[in-house]
C-alpha cells in the first residue's frame, strides 16, 4: 500500500518525446485543465493520478515536500527526456495565509510539455488522451461587489495610510475582490487562451480552479540555479506613446514607488541569502511594460545548495513584501484587520514541481477562482504613507481588467 497515495500500487509513469504539438492550450480537454504557459512554452495537463489537500499551518511547505517525495519516490518512472518538467509532475496552489484551508497538490494523469525546441508527453497508468471538444462561449457576464464595495475599500486604504504614518509599518498590500457570473459554466480553456494571447510575457496558469496570468515569477529552480522576478510599483499604460513614456518615467523616478520596490527586493534578498552560495541582485529596477500596466521589476538570480527543492525556496520567500508588506508580520496583521475577506489562493504560490525538485512557481496575481458559472476576481495594491485611496482604487481596477478581459474577450 502506498502511504502517500492510499493506492494499492505505485504510479507507473512514462515520458517520451513527441512531435511539436502546436498550441498547447488547444490540446486541453474540458475537464480539470492545468497549465503553466509563457511565450507558448510550458506545460498543460489533465486528469488526476493523485490529489491531496495540504494541511494549513507554518509547516505546510515541508509537509508538501514530504508528500511529494513519498509519492514520486514510489513511482516507477520511464523517462526518455530527463528535462525539467519531464517524468512525474505536480501542480500546486497554496493559500496566501498559511492558516487558511485550501492549499492543494495535483499529480495529473497526462502532461504535455514544450521547452527549448523539444516536446514530450507524460502519462501515468494507461495512456489517456481525452477527447478535445471546442471551447464553449461564456455568454453575458454580470459583475457584483466582492467583500467590500469600492467606497469601503477606499476607506480601508485610508485607514492603512494612517497606520503607516503612525509608524506601525512601512507598507501593506491590500487586495480587492469582485464577483462575476456567466450565463453558462465557465470553460477555463477560454480564459487560458485569451490570457496567453494577450499577455505572452506573463505566466498563464491554471490549478484547481485558480486561473490567471501573473507577471511575477516567485522562483524558477533548475538544478542548483534559481531565478526570481520582483515586481513592486505600478502605473497604468498611457493613452498614446508619449503619455505612456511619461507615465513610465514618472514611475521610475517616483520616490514612493522606488521605496515600495526597494522593500520588496530587500525581503527577497533576506529570504534567499541563507539558501544561496551566490546571489545577484540588480542595483536598480527596470521597467516591465505589459498591455495594461507598467511595473518596476528586478530580476534576481542565485545558486542553491545541492539537494534543495523548489518548495524550499517557496517556503523561504512567501509572503514577499510585494504581496504582504513591510515588516511582514505587522503587514499580515493589518491585512486581516482591514481587507475583510479570505484571499484564498490569491497572492499565494502557484506552479509546478517535478521529481528532481525543479519547477516554476509564481505569485497568483491577476487571477480568479472559478467554480461553475461563477468567478471571484482579485487584485491588490501596495499602500504607502503617501498613498491616495482614489488612485489605489484606480490601480486595482486596472489590474482587475486582466481577468475581465479573459471573461469577456
Active-site residue list: 171, 216
Determine the distance from the C-alpha atom of residue 114 to the mean position of all C-alpha atoms in its chain, rounded to a whole number: 20
Question: E strand or H helix at 51, and its extent?
Answer: strand 50-53
Phi/psi of residue 179, nearest 5 degrees: -100, 150
Of 274, 267, 282, 280, residue with least CA distance to 225: 280
Burial letters 268-280, b for 16+ CB under 10 A, else e: bbebbeebbeebe
Read off the DSSP letter of residue 23. S
Q: Give the H/E segment covering residue 14.
A: strand 12-18
Name the strand (E) or helix (H) holding 16.
strand 12-18
* Residues linked to residue 16 through DSSP beta bridges, in sequence order: 121
Q: Report the alpha-carbon distance of residue 112 to residue 130 in Å, rounded.
A: 12
Q: Using DSSP, state whether 109 is helix, strand or coil.
A: coil
C-beta pairs of 265-269 under 8 Å, 24+ apart in sequence: 265/230, 265/232, 265/298, 265/300, 266/321, 266/326, 267/320, 267/321, 267/322, 267/326, 267/328, 268/228, 268/230, 268/300, 268/317, 268/320, 269/300
Instruction: With beta carbons less than 8 A apart as the criterion, state whether 104 and 92 touch.
Output: yes
Cα–Cα distance, 137 to 134 (Å, whole number): 10
Between the two ends of the chain, the Cα-to-Cα distance in Å is 48
Helix 150-165 with 328-338: angle, nearest 10 deg? 150
Kindly state the helix (H) or strand (E) to which residue 234 belongs, with its residue range: strand 225-236
CB 396 within 8 A of CB 385: no
Cα(97)–Cα(232) distance, integer angstroms: 20
- Beta bridge partners of residue 124, listed in sequence order: 13
Amino acid at each position: 500500500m502506498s502511504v502517500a497515495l492510499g493506492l494499492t500500487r505505485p504510479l507507473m509513469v512514462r515520458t517520451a518525446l513527441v512531435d511539436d504539438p502546436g498550441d498547447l492550450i488547444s490540446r486541453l480537454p474540458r475537464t480539470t485543465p492545468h497549465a503553466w504557459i509563457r511565450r507558448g512554452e510550458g506545460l498543460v495537463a489533465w486528469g488526476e493520478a493523485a490529489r491531496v489537500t495540504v494541511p494549513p499551518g507554518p509547516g505546510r511547505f515541508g509537509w508538501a515536500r514530504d508528500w511529494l517525495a513519498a509519492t514520486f519516490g514510489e513511482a516507477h518512472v520511464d523517462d526518455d527526456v530527463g528535462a525539467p518538467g519531464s517524468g512525474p509532475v505536480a501542480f500546486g496552489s497554496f493559500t496566501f495565509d498559511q492558516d487558511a484551508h485550501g492549499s492543494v497538490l495535483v499529480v495529473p494523469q497526462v502532461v504535455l510539455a514544450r521547452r527549448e525546441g523539444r516536446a514530450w508527453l507524460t502519462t501515468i497508468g494507461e495512456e489517456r488522451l481525452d477527447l478535445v471538444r471546442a471551447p464553449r462561449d461564456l455568454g453575458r457576464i454580470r459583475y457584483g461587489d466582492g467583500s467590500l464595495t469600492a467606497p469601503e475599500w477606499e476607506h480601508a486604504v485610508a485607514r492603512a495610510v494612517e497606520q503607516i504614518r503612525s509608524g506601525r509599518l512601512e507598507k501593506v498590500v491590500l487586495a480587492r475582490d469582485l464577483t462575476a457570473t456567466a450565463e453558462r459554466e465557465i470553460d477555463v480553456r477560454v480564459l487560458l487562451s485569451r490570457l496567453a494571447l494577450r499577455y505572452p510575457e506573463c505566466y498563464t496558469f491554471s490549478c484547481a480552479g485558480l486561473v490567471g496570468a501573473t507577471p511575477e515569477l516567485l522562483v524558477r529552480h533548475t538544478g542548483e540555479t534559481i531565478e526570481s522576478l520582483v515586481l513592486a510599483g505600478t502605473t497604468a499604460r498611457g493613452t498614446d506613446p508619449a503619455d505612456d513614456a511619461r507615465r513610465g518615467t514618472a514611475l521610475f523616478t517616483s520616490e514612493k514607488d522606488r521605496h515600495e520596490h526597494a522593500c520588496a527586493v530587500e525581503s527577497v534578498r533576506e529570504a534567499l541569502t541563507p539558501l544561496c552560495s551566490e546571489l545577484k541582485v540588480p542595483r536598480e529596477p527596470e521597467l516591465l511594460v505589459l498591455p495594461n500596466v507598467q511595473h518596476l521589476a528586478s530580476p534576481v538570480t542565485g545558486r542553491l545548495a545541492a539537494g534543495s527543492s523548489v518548495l524550499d525556496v517557496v517556503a523561504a520567500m512567501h509572503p514577499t513584501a510585494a504581496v504582504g508588506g513591510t515588516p511582514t508580520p505587522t503587514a499580515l496583521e493589518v491585512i486581516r484587520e482591514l481587507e475583510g475577506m479570505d484571499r484564498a489562493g490569491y497572492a499565494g504560490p502557484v506552479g509546478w514541481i517535478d521529481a528532481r525538485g525543479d519547477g516554476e512557481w509564481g505569485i497568483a496575481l491577476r487571477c480568479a477562482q472559478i467554480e461553475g458559472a461563477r468567478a471571484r476576481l482579485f487584485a491588490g495594491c501596495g499602500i504607502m504613507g503617501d498613498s491616495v485611496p482614489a488612485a489605489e482604487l484606480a490601480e486595482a481596477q486596472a489590474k482587475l481588467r486582466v481577468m475581465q478581459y479573459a471573461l469577456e474577450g
